[in-house]
Amino acid sequence: MDRRLEVVPCGYSKQIESGLKILRIKRFFLCQCNWIRTILVAFCRNKFFSLNQVVNTSVSGTLLLGPGPCNVSENVLEALSRPLFGHLDPRFLEVMESVKSQLRTVFDTENSVTFPISATGSAGMEFLLANFLEPGDTIVVGVNGVFGGRVASLSEKLGARVVKVEQEWGRAIDLNEFRDTIRREYPKVAALVSGETSTGVYQPMNGVGDVCRETGTLLFMDCVTSLAGMPVHVDKCGADIVFSGTQKCLGVPPGLAPVTVSPRALEVYRNRSKPTPSFYFDLDAILSYIDGDGGRSYHHTAPISMVFALDAGLKEILEEGLESRWNRHARAAEYLRSEMVAYGFEPVVPEGERLNPLTTLYLPDGVNDAEARSKLLMEHGIEVGAGLGPLAGKIWRIGLMAGNACETSVDWLTEALKSVLS
Ligand code: PLP
């Protein structure tokens, strides 16, 4: 089978490709004859041909294969360095409108309230919970890792009654149990994490939206790691309040949290008994800036450069096509798993529940987690993520996100592992 992956037209991938070419030439010669090997070893001792030097000279940075951020393309970097407009300048507002419209396509929604919150993914979570929960409201939360846990604890802080549907780490939430709990509790909100980055699980959503409609519940979805890396269909699955983050499969630095809010959720918001107890996250106040009808009023100063970067990242996604992008992430994850098994790594998540942008693997026996990750980073310029909670020290979390979701990233990692694990 031809396992070569299409490398997206992203400058970073091309740079990795050229680094890999040098490595392949080196490997070829190393395998050919002893006398060449002897000379090359001498060169290596002088750090002349070392992988480290390839990283520094060809890529001049770190290959970010952790749970995010990932490397971003030259287009996105260029957008970040563009001269600024004022945040109320019509030319900037045009860029903001372009971002909102492209986000609708990526979320697969008609929701007019779709825009980026000016802060990281966690702010997207807090914005949604602060506006759509009031003290005493009930929320049913699927908890099978760090981020479901974060939704639960933040909801508690906001005074909500939290009903958890728990699952062991590394498995998807049991939807029969989740749907039954919604039917029993009639909660205001039901929350699921679409891509649980702490464990590498992709959560199916089958039928949850329908049950939420039966019970008058708002369906909350955390799509930080799944958006643009795996199918996310906000309207089709009946999700009402959804957020993401820019630093994963959107291929943009951390700093914005795209959100989308359904008309049904807006109605619930309008019927709050008290105003949202927050200045920064107050939906109506933000809309007075984000929604242009009748002029825009100042709420906070939008992070102009990050909005330029998100616009550039979204354009790349739509040029590639969402489905092609999901398929590329799937092929890259499949290639990673097949290569890593040869080094003694074992997948944590069973087939059918795996999150392609973030693969979790049990370490082979005898490998010191911290030492191996540190060598990868400091000697080979490659970052991978550690396990969290009960999986700390036992697994690695390897992200193949945005432009990094290609065979080249995997080849570079496995090439480095040969020396790290020897
Ligand atoms: N939700 C998930 C699934 C995440 O992976 C993350 C971050 O990794 C967050 C929420 C929080 O996002 P941030 O770290 O950008 O605040």
Assess whether the C-beta atom of 253 lies below 6 angstroms from ligand 1. no
Assess whether the C-beta atom of 224 lies below 6 angstroms from ligand 1. yes
Answer yes or no: do 277 and 155 share one domain.
yes
pLDDT of residue 14: 55
- DSSP letter for each residue of 324-347: HHHHHHHHHHHHHHHHHHTTT-EE
**What ligand 1 atom has the least distance to the C-alpha of 245?**
15
**What ligand 1 atom has the least distance to the C-alpha of 194?**
3
Give the CA distances from residue 371 to residues 44, 204, 366, in Å, rounded to whole numbers and listed in that order. 22, 36, 11
Answer yes or no: do 21 and 147 share one domain.
no
pLDDT digits (tens, 9 = 90+) for 391-412: 999 999 999 999 999 999 999 9
Question: Pocket of ligand 1, candidates 64, 120, 122, 193: which has the most ligand atoms within 8 Å of its Cβ, to mutate?
Answer: 122
The domain boundary residue, chosen from 266, 296, 317: 317
Assess whether the C-beta atom of 144 lies below 6 angstroms from ligand 1. no
pLDDT digits (tens, 9 = 90+) for 309-319: 999 999 999 99
- For 332, residues 6+ apart whose C-beta sits below 8 A from its C-beta are 5, 356, 400, 405, 406, 407, 409, 410
Round the average pLDDT of the chain to a whole number and report it: 89
User: 123 C-alpha vs ligand 1 centroid, how far in Å?
Assistant: 9
The domain boundary residue, chosen from 302, 317, 332: 317
User: 124 C-alpha vs ligand 1 centroid, how far in Å?
Assistant: 9
pLDDT at position 272 over 60: yes
% pLDDT > 90, the chain: 84
Answer yes or no: do 36 and 185 share one domain.
no
Cα gap 263→261, rounded to integer Å: 7
Cα gap 394→67, rounded to integer Å: 16
Confidence of residue 20 (pLDDT cuts 50, 70, 90): low
User: Is residue 78 in a domain?
Assistant: no
Answer yes or no: do 409 and 330 share one domain.
yes
% pLDDT > 70, the chain: 85
Place of tokens 């205001």: 188
User: 258 C-alpha vs ligand 1 centroid, how far in Å?
Assistant: 12
Answer yes or no: do 242 and 307 share one domain.
yes
pTM above 0.85, yes or no: yes
Cα gap 415→30, rounded to integer Å: 13
> For residue 303, how many other CB atoms are within 10 A of its CB?
16
Assess whether the C-beta atom of 197 lies below 6 angstroms from ligand 1. yes
Answer yes or no: do 142 and 248 share one domain.
yes
User: Is residue 126 in a domain?
Assistant: yes
pLDDT digits (tens, 9 = 90+) for 224-234: 999 999 999 99
Cα gap 395→128, rounded to integer Å: 31
Confidence of residue 422 (pLDDT cuts 50, 70, 90): confident
Answer yes or no: do 248 and 339 share one domain.
no
Backbone φ, ψ for residue 63 (5° rounding): -85, 110
The first and second tokens of residue 269, run together, are: 């918001």
User: Is residue 79 in a domain?
Assistant: no
pLDDT digits (tens, 9 = 90+) for 152-201: 999 999 999 999 999 999 999 999 999 999 999 999 999 999 999 999 99
User: Is residue 80 in a domain?
Assistant: no
pLDDT digits (tens, 9 = 90+) for 68-111: 999 999 999 999 999 999 999 999 999 999 999 999 999 999 99
Residue 243 bridge partners (DSSP): 222, 259
- For 373, residues 6+ apart whose C-beta sits below 8 A from its C-beta are 383, 384, 386, 396
What SS3 class is residue 358? strand
Question: Pocket of ligand 1, candidates 117, 202, 225, 226: which has the most ligand atoms within 8 Å of its Cβ, to mutate?
Answer: 225
User: 50 C-alpha vs ligand 1 centroid, how far in Å?
Assistant: 35
User: 235 C-alpha vs ligand 1 centroid, how far in Å?
Assistant: 22
User: 348 C-alpha vs ligand 1 centroid, how far in Å?
Assistant: 20
Answer yes or no: do 93 and 197 share one domain.
yes
Cα gap 377→387, rounded to integer Å: 16
Answer yes or no: do 127 and 230 share one domain.
yes
Answer yes or no: do 194 and 283 share one domain.
yes
Answer yes or no: do 246 and 101 share one domain.
yes
Residue 384 bridge partners (DSSP): 65
Ranking 3-17, 76-90, 353-367, 402-416 by mean pLDDT, the lowest is 3-17
CA atoms within a 13 Å half-sphere pointing along the CA-CB vector of 56? 9
The domain boundary residue, chosen from 317, 336, 355: 317
Answer yes or no: do 240 and 117 share one domain.
yes
- Mark residue 158 as left, alpha or beta (left: phi above 0; alpha: psi -120 to 50; beta: remaining): alpha
Residue span of the structural domain in which 24 resides: 3-73+321-420
Question: Pocket of ligand 1, candidates 125, 224, 248, 397: which has the most ligand atoms within 8 Å of its Cβ, to mutate?
Answer: 224
- The CATH number of residue 27's host domain is 3.90.1150.10
User: 114 C-alpha vs ligand 1 centroid, how far in Å?
Assistant: 19
User: Is residue 216 in a domain?
Assistant: yes
Nearest Cα residue to 408 out of 55, 64, 17: 17
Average pLDDT on 366-370 reads 96
- Domains held by the chain: number: 2
Amino acid 359 reads T
